[in-house]
């Protein structure tokens, strides 16, 4: 009887999903889909409760052995930000060998179900040394180009698959409403319309080569009070539906395989316990039939003891639990919770059914060791050129007093903390969770190196004094950060997370201006920063955000007119901190949404 109910439920979910897809013709009658239902049911029929619960757990690679994967029938393993198999510079082969060992163990388990290995490849395969580091989402929002983002998605999928990995915890589809949030740069922009154009294309690209994408963090992670990471959203359902839900509708239409739940709360209720949004809206109303994944240890933020926390999360509709270190006790507690009636068998079957469905759809059953050849798919010239094109298209020209294009006849002095530093251009989630603070990150070039290169056989050159130059370029920046470490109440060019060396660099700009030099300001940051009267000292000013490993070459392309400036702001640029207390107005906004000069505008 229970099986029949589950079958009816699964068919119902598939039907609802078909209704959310535009132009879907034969979706409901597709024989493939009834095959899927039968396959999932036959898998569930042969599994014990212990095997099913194992499938619902995701452990961190450093906290589980292949032997334990086998014993507990573990469904998934992840590498958290910066969690490498051995060392930061492991090769794609090292990664693939590790994944393969875990996979062999999963196949040797009593259920024999292949496992999913997941990583955060949020701007390229950023944990892996030598991977192409694409611009962060904030840049992709500024570029606003659906075809471009689709190509970046596919390139990322290729890099991920060349390490044997199947699951990507990307893209963040957060509609960030407050730039004081440390995850602003993971967002395409403040306006859901920007997401509308980009989310579907990105997911379709990211899900090529049987890689599974993850829309995150459901829902309203970008809507917390004061932009506090993991904070509380004090908004009505109607507001949340208007601002934060649309990207998920697009993601589901594009067939996204998984959705990660947000650490944040809505009106005091933690999202991980929110059955209205997870079950009623996401699964039933929108017909999402993939895996709902919890965030890192987020279950522990729910009230009650561990068993209660797990039951609350699972009953709210979470299918897989990201419990990096506590997966083993969770295994025991969930079994007890089912045996004592805290969680129904149907809920377990729905969760495990979805996990099996996604594994099957993505070829895990047919070819669990599937991998692309890294020599033609990882860190390739083609991907680097794509990252460079994307970076170049994302730069926003804020001020230009007839400065561009530069002439290769002019001598240039370049200074500032971000001028010779690829780690800064790449930002958080690069090599390590909080970003790579080294000037060299194993790929790409700094702005200075790119400039020196470009001027190799030109009359102009890079010089080391202001007085010897016609043009002075000053690159200021925020330091790399991720998640709550990036929260600040003072997002300004000399405050908050800004590089302490910005002040000295700015002083050089002022000195250069006094000497009558042409002075160009460049700002690399995870969000717009309050500029005070800084712009007055510059003849031109460019916001490059976090353009990644090819950002240096890309900027030089734009400086010399080899590529046009064409980025437009996907976030309003605040004029002062008043913006946060008084709200948006002509007085509090320096540059509005959509602003961005073109060189031939003047």
Q: Which residue is nearest to ligand BGC (CB)?
A: 169
Report the residue number, 296 or 538, with the smaller CB distance to ligand BGC: 296
For residue 112, give the 3-state DSSP assignment: coil
If we measure between CA atoms, which residue out of 238, 84, 105, 244 comes closest to residue 163? 84
The residue with tokens 């919890």 is 294
366 is catalytic: no
CB 522 within 8 A of CB 501: no
Residue number, 400 or 483, with CB nearest to ligand BGC: 483
Distances (CA, A) of 523 to 528, 547, 560, 596: 9, 11, 18, 14
Taking the least distance from each CB to ligand BGC, the nearer of 81 and 423 is 81
Q: Can you tell me which residue has the tokens 């010239």? A: 381
Nearest approach in angstroms of CB 1 to ligand BGC is 38
Nearest to 123 by CA among 441, 398, 530, 472: 441
Describe the strand order of the beta sheet including 471-477 as a list of residue ranges.
396-400, 540-543, 518-524, 471-477, 412-415
Sign of the four-CA dihedral 54, 60, 66, 68: negative
- Two tokens, residue 517: 């030099």
Residue whose CB is less far from ligand BGC, 80 or 567: 80
Confirm if 43 and 307 have CB atoms less than 8 A apart.
no
d(CA 418, CA 479): 9
Which of 464, 473, 457, 448 has its CA nearest to residue 409? Answer: 457
User: Closest approach of Cβ 223 to ligand BGC, in Å?
Assistant: 16
* Minimum gap (Å) between residue 79 Cβ and ligand BGC: 8
- Residue 295 annotated as catalytic: yes
Enumerate binding residues for ligand BGC (CB under 6 A).
80-81, 120, 169, 216, 295-296, 483
Longest distance between any two alpha carbons in the chain, whole Å = 85
Residue 291 host element (H or E): strand 291-293
- CB-nearer residue toward ligand BGC: 72 or 169: 169
Contact between 441 and 426 (Cβ < 8 Å) = yes
- Which residue of the set 33, 36, 60, 295 is catalytic? 295
Distance from chain centroid for Cα 179:
16
Task: Write down the residue that tokens 């006790």 correspond to.
Answer: 329
Q: Which is nearer to ligand BGC, 80 or 521 (CB)?
A: 80
The least distance separating ligand BGC from the CB of residue 186, rounded to whole angstroms, comes to: 8
List the catalytic residue out of 120, 349, 478, 483: 483
Smallest separation (angstroms) from ligand BGC to the CB of 483 = 6
H or E segment to which residue 232 belongs: strand 232-233
Q: Choose between 397 and 546: whose C-beta lies nearer to ligand BGC.
A: 546
- In Å, how far are 14, 76, 339, 351, 379 from 291, measured between CA atoms? 14, 12, 24, 7, 29
Residue 434: alpha-carbon gap to chain centroid? 13
Residue number with CB closer to ligand BGC (182 or 528)? 182
Min dist. Cβ of residue 230 to ligand BGC (A): 8
Minimum separation from the CB atom of position 222 to ligand BGC (A): 13
Taking the complex as a whole, the smallest distance from the CB of residue 496 to ligand BGC amounts, in Å, to 21
Write out the catalytic residue numbers: 295, 483
């Amino acid at each position: 009887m229970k099986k029949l109910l589950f079958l009816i439920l699964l068919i119902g979910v598939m039907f609802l999903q078909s209704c959310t897809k535009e132009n879907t013709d034969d979706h409901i009658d597709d024989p493939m889909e009834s095959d899927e239902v039968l396959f999932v049911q036959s898998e569930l029929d042969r599994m014990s409760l212990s095997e099913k619960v194992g499938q619902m757990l995701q452990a961190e690679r450093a906290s589980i052995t292949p032997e334990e994967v086998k014993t507990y029938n573990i469904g998934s393993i992840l590498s958290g930000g910066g969690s490498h198999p051995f060392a930061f510079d492991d090769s794609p082969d090292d990664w693939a060998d590790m994944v393969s060992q875990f996979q062999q163990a999963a196949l040797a388990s009593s259920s024999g179900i292949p496992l999913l290995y997941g990583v955060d490849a949020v701007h390229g395969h950023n944990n892996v040394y030598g991977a192409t580091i694409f611009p962060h989402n904030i840049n992709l929002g500024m570029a606003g180009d659906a075809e471009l983002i689709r190509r970046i998605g596919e390139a990322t999928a290729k890099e991920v698959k060349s390490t044997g990995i199947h699951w990507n915890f990307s893209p963040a589809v957060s509609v960030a409403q407050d730039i004081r949030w440390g995850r602003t740069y993971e967002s395409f922009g403040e306006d859901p319309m920007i997401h509308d154009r980009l989310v579907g294309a990105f997911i379709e690209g990211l899900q090529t080569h049987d890689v599974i994408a993850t829309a995150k963090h459901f829902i309203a992670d970008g809507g917390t009070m004061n932009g506090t990471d993991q904070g509380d959203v004090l908004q009505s359902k109607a507001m949340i539906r208007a601002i934060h839900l649309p990207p998920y509708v697009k993601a589901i239409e594009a067939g996204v395989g998984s959705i990660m739940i947000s650490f944040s709360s809505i009106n005091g209720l933690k999202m991980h316990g929110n059955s209205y949004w997870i079950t009623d809206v996401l699964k039933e109303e929108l017909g999402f039939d993939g895996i709902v994944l919890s965030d890192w240890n987020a279950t522990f933020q729910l009230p009650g003891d561990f068993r209660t926390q797990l039951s609350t999360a699972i009953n709210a509709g979470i299918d897989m639990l990201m419990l990096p270190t506590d997966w083993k006790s969770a295994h025991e507690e969930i079994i007890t919770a089912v045996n004592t009636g805290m969680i129904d068998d149907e809920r377990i079957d729905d969760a495990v059914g979805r996990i099996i469905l996604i594994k099957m759809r993505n070829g895990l059953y047919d070819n669990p060791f599937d991998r692309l050849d890294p020599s033609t798919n990882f860190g390739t010239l083609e991907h680097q050129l794509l990252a460079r094109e994307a970076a170049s298209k994302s730069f926003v020209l804020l001020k230009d007093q007839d400065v561009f294009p530069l002439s290769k006849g002019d001598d240039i002095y370049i200074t500032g903390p971000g001028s010779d530093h690829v780690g800064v251009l790449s930002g958080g989630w690069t090599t390590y969770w909080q970003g790579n603070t080294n000037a060299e990150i194993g790929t790409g070039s700094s702005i200075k190196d790119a400039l020196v290169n470009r001027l190799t056989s030109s009359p102009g050159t890079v010089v080391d004094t202001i007085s010897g130059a016609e043009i002075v370029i000053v690159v200021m920046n925020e330091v790399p950060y991720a998640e709550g470490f990036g929260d600040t109440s003072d997002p300004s060019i000399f405050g908050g997370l800004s590089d302490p060396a910005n002040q000295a660099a700015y002083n050089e700009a002022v000195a250069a201006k006094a000497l009558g030099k042409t002075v160009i300001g460049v700002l690399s940051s995870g969000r717009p920063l309050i500029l005070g009267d800084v712009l007055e000292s510059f003849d031109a000013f460019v916001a490059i955000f976090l353009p990644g490993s090819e950002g240096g070459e890309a900027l030089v392309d734009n400086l010399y007119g080899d590529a046009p400036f064409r980025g437009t702001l996907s976030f309003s640029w605040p004029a002062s901190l008043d913006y946060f207390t008084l709200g948006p107005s002509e007085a509090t906004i320096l540059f509005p949404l959509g602003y961005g000069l073109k060189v031939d505008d003047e």
